[in-house]
Structure 1
Amino acid sequence: MADRVHPTPPPPPPDAATATETTPLQEQHPSFNRPPAPAPGTYIIQIPKDQVLRVPPPDRARRYAKLAARPARRRRLRRACCLASAALLLLILLFTAFAGAVYLVFRPRAPAFSAFSVSSLSITNLTLSSSSSSPAIVVADVRADNTRNRKAGIEYRGGGEVTVAYAGAVLAAGPWPAFRQPPRNVTVFAASMAGKDVALTEEQRRQLGREEAARAVPMTVEATVPVRVRLGKVLRTWTVDVRATCHVEVDRMDGTPAAVTDRGCRVRVKPLWWWW
């Protein structure tokens, strides 16, 4: 037969004398030091530790509120900057898409070297005497060509100027007329220029006389015109100055329209993307 295991009886509880006795280790450990019991008639209120730390002392409440508001202001500022940047980027993208669509529809082209030419030039009152001044009256027939643009017109605005010079000395100057040029159009107009007092040297007068006798007097016609491109009936580009320099030769200077030999024009204009 198997041996029986008898339960062990529990140890007897310590008596009151033994329970009240403390060991030296218990007296030294701080966890065994309990606070004294409160006096009769008092109440104990326990406050959570996190709540105590969140409430600043009265003398630091204003500074605490100021420091606590900084992260919120920074977050609002960052959010406002992000929204402004996103809105600006969206506007740039929309404008780029709109400009690209308009360009694909109208295919505008800025005035090129073939946009201007001088067909005739009339010079009167240009004397070759030994006087100190040589006033002149010049009328130039200028040809403006816009056949390169099939759907875009050109506006020549007021404020332009045309000058005629010989050997670097300006003989006459006048305004460029303001007009609108439709697409696929060639316009010829007369630019009247009033003479200026020009002091030519003795060598320049002799050279001018020889060139007039040879019926080949070189002249320089320069124009500075404010121009903008018309896209349909509503759209306009910014106004951009177009500078054209044409080198010509005339066969006489007796006041009648002279035969002009155009030796080419140079047009200086900013790229078309600058016009927007």
Structure 2
Amino acid sequence: MTVEKPQEMTGDTNSGGYVTHKDVHRIKHPSIDTNDSSSSRYSVDSQKPRIGPPPGTYIINLPKDQIYRVPPPENARRYENLSRRKTNQSNCRRCFCHFLAALLILLFLAALAVGILYLVYQPHKPRFSVSGVSVTGINLTSSSPLSPVIGIKVRSQNVNEKLGLIYEKGNEADVFYGGIKLGNGKFTAFKQPADNVTVIVTVLKGSSIQLTSSSRKELTESQKKGKVPFGLRMKAPVQFKVGEVTTWTMTVTVDCKIKVDKLTASATVITENCDTGLSLL
């Protein structure tokens, strides 16, 4: 920064066009009394030390780069980084909004398709019943552990007139007596056309089943009465099929209460009652 003190210019402003220093903007020094009418207008007491630059009018020149460089370089870089960060955040927010909108649209279309499928085809869950049971490996005259082998014949009925069923792999079946699991197994995956009845045969096996003395006594008494109760539980993944189109995989659960007359391979089913459930997920 440079400070220039202009020279006083005299002359008649009306005739010569000169500019007197009275017409120039002054920077007043605090030690100068500008209202003093004495002849030494800009003089100060000679006994007092002079403080600061001599009195007069000054012109201050600033470099252009200090005037127009706003903001400074470090602030400009910070502003640029902040602007870029805001742009990235805006892009991420926009992408998330688009994804959420697309997901909502897909869910709406899926719900609409399910609604149309239900109204047009009116799907119903299948029905199950137990038509045969054979029992081996249960000896109640000994206290040794049991290794039962129980054959189950299940009748599956597809009551839908327009929808086929596809029973996939991953199914399971368990047989119980008084809350004690006697055996477990699987049945073969199969396809069932509309309005069809299919008989499923599976063998459920157990190993080293230890019955309590009370359970063994109750089982013996039930066989003497000719009414031995069993529980059968099955679970299978299934899909509905319309032409070449299949739905997503659902889950069928079957809980049956069975009574047989004896614990032999030629046992007869006296009563049975199966409750079927269908989970959409």
What TM-score does the superposition give when structure 2 sets the normalisation length? 0.68
Q: How does 1:225-240 map to 2 (within 5 A)?
A: 225-238=236-249, 240=250
In the alignment, what sits opposite 2:207? 196
State the SS of the aligned residue for 1:226.
strand
User: Cα distance, 1:21 vs. partner?
Assistant: 9.4
* Aligned residues between the structures: 239
User: Cα distance, 1:257 vs. partner?
Assistant: 4.3
What amino acid does structure 2 have at the position aligned with 1:155? I
Change in CA separation of 1:116 and 1:177 when aligned onto 2, cut-off 3 Å: same
In the alignment, what sits opposite 1:115? 127
Say whether 1:54 aligns with 2:54. no
Say whether 1:139 aligns with 2:148. no
Change in CA separation of 1:47 and 1:218 when aligned onto 2, cut-off 3 Å: same
What amino acid does structure 1 have at the position aligned with 2:109? A
Does 195-204 or 243-252 show the bigger shift?
Answer: 195-204
2:165–2:238 contact (8 Å) kept in structure 1: yes
1:120–1:260 contact (8 Å) kept in structure 2: no
Unaligned runs of 5+ in 2: 1-12, 30-55
Separation of aligned partners in 2, 1:88 and 1:141: 49
Unaligned runs of 5+ in 1: 1-12, 37-43
What amino acid does structure 2 have at the position aligned with 1:88? L
Change in CA separation of 1:33 and 1:157 when aligned onto 2, cut-off 3 Å: same
User: Cα distance, 1:179 vs. partner?
Assistant: 0.9
State the SS of the aligned residue for 2:186.
strand
Change in CA separation of 1:128 and 1:98 when aligned onto 2, cut-off 3 Å: closer
State the SS of the aligned residue for 2:209.
coil
User: Cα distance, 1:255 vs. partner?
Assistant: 1.2
In the alignment, what sits opposite 2:76? 64
Change in CA separation of 1:63 and 1:151 when aligned onto 2, cut-off 3 Å: farther
State the SS of the aligned residue for 1:223.
strand
State the SS of the aligned residue for 1:54.
coil
Separation of aligned partners in 1, 2:167 and 2:21: 115
1:108–1:229 contact (8 Å) kept in structure 2: no
Q: How does 1:18-57 map to 2 (within 5 A)?
A: 35=59, 52-54=68-70, 56=72
1:138–1:192 contact (8 Å) kept in structure 2: yes
Equivalent residue for 1:181, pick from 184, 192, 207: 192
Greater relative contact order (Cα < 8 A, sep 6+)? 1
Separation of aligned partners in 2, 1:194 and 1:157: 22
User: Cα distance, 1:132 vs. partner?
Assistant: 1.3
User: Cα distance, 1:237 vs. partner?
Assistant: 0.6
Q: How does 1:101-112 map to 2 (within 5 A)?
A: 101-105=113-117, 107=121, 109=123, 111=125
Separation of aligned partners in 1, 2:248 and 2:253: 18
User: Cα distance, 1:27 vs. partner?
Assistant: 6.7
Does 149-158 or 247-256 show the bigger shift?
Answer: 149-158
Map Cα deviations across residues 196-252 of structure 1 (whole Å, 9 max, x no partner).
3322233323322222222211111112323333344243413x4443221111122
Equivalent residue for 2:274, pick from 265, 270, 274: 265
User: Cα distance, 1:189 vs. partner?
Assistant: 1.4
Separation of aligned partners in 2, 1:71 and 1:27: 44
Say whether 1:88 aligns with 2:96. no
In the alignment, what sits opposite 1:251? 261
In the alignment, what sits opposite 2:139? 127
Computed over aligned residues only, the root mean square deviation of the Cα atoms, in angstroms, reads 3.7
Separation of aligned partners in 2, 1:22 and 1:66: 47
Percent identity for Structure 1 against Structure 2:
25
What amino acid does structure 2 have at the position aligned with 1:204? S
